[in-house]
Chain A
């Protein structure tokens, strides 16, 4: 079945540091790929998405490129802020047949220190 593997956390960075959170996936067909973010005490929010190979999703300074050849969707940000501290989830959509569901990675806790 489909699966998502993302780098184990926690990740601790200083403000303005470069961020990479690795995500690889296994899927049949052509899934869409997502990054969701969960701030403390809140639900998940969509951060960015890409629906086909070589697409780049971007939002709030975060970027991720859908790489079919390496089955990856790594999240990057050039300069993190304290407010970026959250749990980040990589996910893929399973739209096989008439169903649709998201399969999530286990999440990576990011802490950014001032």
Chain B
């Protein structure tokens, strides 16, 4: 158990809909990262938050947004869903925002868009 909790584990929704994925980082970790894992693109970095502020952005679509709340949990919002958004979404957390300790990953949310 990494200490990072993601909910829900599975999500099935229709095209055009909006979903929210939730992540609770390890106790004491200030940074949260979101990754998308798909068969064709591999593991892609989406976005990073550190202590409530956006720190880095990767290949995140404009239809996607995220935030980190004062209690440090984070949510990833995916809207106007398309079939191609079907993927495994991982959250990871680490202590710092600008150094390189290891990142701890949650078990992921599997999103299926039908």
Contact = CB atoms under 8 A, between A and B. Distances in A.
B42 interface: yes
Interface stretch (A15-23, A39-47, A75-83): A39-47
B98 A42 contact: no
Interface residues of A, number: 26
B42 A46 contact: no
Interface in A85-107: 89, 93, 95, 97-107
Interface residues of B, number: 27
A98 B102 contact: no
Contact of B45 (A36, A103, A107): A103
Contacts of B97: 98-100
Contacts of B92: 44, 102
Contacts of B4: 43
B107 A105 contact: no
B106 interface: yes
A102 to B, nearest CB: 6
A100 B42 contact: no
A102 B103 contact: yes
B55 interface: yes
A102 B42 contact: no
A81 to B, nearest CB: 22
Contacts of B31: 100
A95 B35 CA distance: 17
B107 A102 contact: no
Contacts of A44: 43, 90, 92, 105
Contact of B100 (A95, A98, A104): A95
Interface of A: 31-32, 34, 36, 41-46, 49, 51, 89, 93, 95, 97-107
